[in-house]
Structure 1
């Protein structure tokens, strides 16, 4: 249910009235050097009441493409709504971002400790503060992620199936793919779902890499959502996606049959027929060359871009059943 109110928004101890802009600090702990760590939360409120949209990124410190999407939304002023409120948190795991690591300094994956606790680990405390002091204000959450190391994800949205409302929002967002997936235990997405909060998780690209196609997909998707909610200022254009979103009911990973040097010959997002050649595995000595053929027909939504693979490594993520 959309929360529309004329009263001030109190978030992280700061009161923000309609028509005000404010940067508040998501403060949890200093660095081990006693240096303060400021995690800015950018809040933009229109003079006109409306929905509240929360844009989050950087739950994993190495997923810079998601950070770039939210950064662009702020830099271009897209986060200044025509009505309602937009809250931006470009880097939630600032500790991992500083150290160029996925996890927190305590070794924990922030996306596996929600809802967290006030007396737990550092990651748990960050999770708890996010859930208790920021998330309750949101009507819709758009959470931006990136693929793993060396594995390039096609731009896609993820959420559980049989959710008509999220299906409608996904159509509006216009990412190339929707991959229905179960909520992982103690994840941000799972915790928000239990709290009754709508959340679309965006995946695209690979860690430690900024890709223009993925970034544009994320930025354009947000603009379409904001326009749909009546929140996008008229100065910004929300173009329709060039192709309809493909909804994927099920998918499989195709793994390496041999160890060796690997090179994909297809691009992420492509459609392949069974037995199509998708790449090859060779040895360093020019004595071995194995062609990797598609075991099923489907869309390739992830490609391993690492040059060295071992037997059993995931090479391609391919859709097996469409909606």
Structure 2
């Protein structure tokens, strides 16, 4: 017996079909309409309903390319279940290369939104009602912000068994327990009953190939884990490291920054991460690790002031038992780009 058609907005997508559609957001002063772009892949066979989205922040390009590559390889006639893809959520910000909306609101602080609220609230409401409410699982794709770059990582509620399982399936180098942020898509989707993974990798307004590749592979692994596609033919990823605490090492002086620490590098407390120099090359300060951990983020700014975040270090569990013994730190995953 054929599956029922899948409905999004005014469009019904038949089983075994891919279809692009656009949901109205607003109208510009020029009279041009701004729409939310959506692609639905409605599989011929029964299975879960999942969404992937990118560019909630308008300066995050990596996720847009991840969505494109994932969609390119999906065959609706073979897919088990339904995938809803929203490659650019913050359309206005993306067109301007701006993290925020024109009124300077952060879209990822506006969920679940409202139909008659601000522009951000209306976009959030549209995303929640037409996408999230129809899905069991979501993957929210992000990059670093404010001249920061991130190691490919999953941020999620690792206390939830199902979410933890999906995080491991993604196969990123690191998975980090991250508390829910009020107004974020992840928090609103959790309230709606969905399991959500937040993928972080690369730098804002850069098309980092390694970040794209890790994201595409991870999304495919999750879809395979859910039984929607056959497992990809690839070498198994390295074991995912688990972190329940992290924090930024901050500059203790002002100067030109020369970082020696690389993404993914393991460091010990007290280890030298780089140095600060004045414009004549005189060393002002050294930068040292304030904990044992792995470098999951770093600034790319050449000039830093005293107190600026420089290197993001995640403490890594050496055995699964530590997850039970260690309570989440109140500053776990401090200053995330979801914030």
1:234-282 Cα distance to aligned partner (Å, 9 max, x none): 7x535421x1111101112110000110021121111001222111100
Change (3 A) 1:138 1:127: same
Is 1:288–2:286 an aligned residue pair? no
Distance 1:321 1:19 in 2: 43
1:203-231 Cα distance to aligned partner (Å, 9 max, x none): 11110111111111110011111111222
Note the C-alpha offset of 1:99: 0.7
Q: In structure 2, what is the equivalent of residue 246 of structure 1?
A: 241
Distance 1:145 1:21 in 2: 25
Is 1:153–2:147 an aligned residue pair? no
Is 1:303–2:281 an aligned residue pair? no
CA-based RMSD of the aligned residues comes to 1.7
1:18-75 Cα distance to aligned partner (Å, 9 max, x none): 1122111121112232112243211111211111110111100001111111122123
Aligned pairs for 1:208-247 within 5 A? 208-233=205-230, 236-241=232-237, 243-247=238-242
Distance 1:174 1:69 in 2: 15
Note the C-alpha offset of 1:313: 0.2
The SS at the match of 1:104 is coil
Note the C-alpha offset of 1:86: 1.0
Note the C-alpha offset of 1:116: 0.7
8 Å Cα contact 1:44-1:81 kept in structure 2: no
Is 1:31–2:28 an aligned residue pair? yes
Is 1:95–2:87 an aligned residue pair? no
Distance 2:223 2:267 in 1: 34
Distance 1:56 1:154 in 2: 19
Mean CA deviation greater in 288-297 or 99-108: 288-297
Q: In structure 2, what is the equivalent of residue 187 of structure 1?
A: 184
Unpaired runs of 5+ residues, structure 2, are: 318-322, 324-339
Q: In structure 1, what is the equivalent of residue 270 of structure 2?
A: 275
Note the C-alpha offset of 1:233: 4.8
Unpaired runs of 5+ residues, structure 1, are: none
Which of the residues 128, 132, 137 maps onto 1:140?
Answer: 137
Distance 1:210 1:20 in 2: 30
Change (3 A) 1:106 1:17: same
8 Å Cα contact 2:58-2:90 kept in structure 1: yes
Which of the residues 201, 205, 210 maps onto 1:204?
Answer: 201
Change (3 A) 1:286 1:263: closer
For these two proteins, the number of residue pairs brought into alignment is 317
1:93-133 Cα distance to aligned partner (Å, 9 max, x none): 01000011011112110000111111111111000111112
Q: In structure 2, what is the equivalent of residue 60 of structure 1?
A: 57
8 Å Cα contact 2:17-2:77 kept in structure 1: no
Q: TM-score, normalised by structure 1?
A: 0.94
Change (3 A) 1:135 1:238: farther
Change (3 A) 1:320 1:57: same
Is 1:71–2:80 an aligned residue pair? no
8 Å Cα contact 1:169-1:225 kept in structure 2: yes
Distance 2:236 2:24 in 1: 39
Distance 1:321 1:76 in 2: 34
Distance 2:235 2:10 in 1: 38
Distance 1:96 1:217 in 2: 25
Which of the residues 171, 184, 204 maps onto 2:168?
Answer: 171
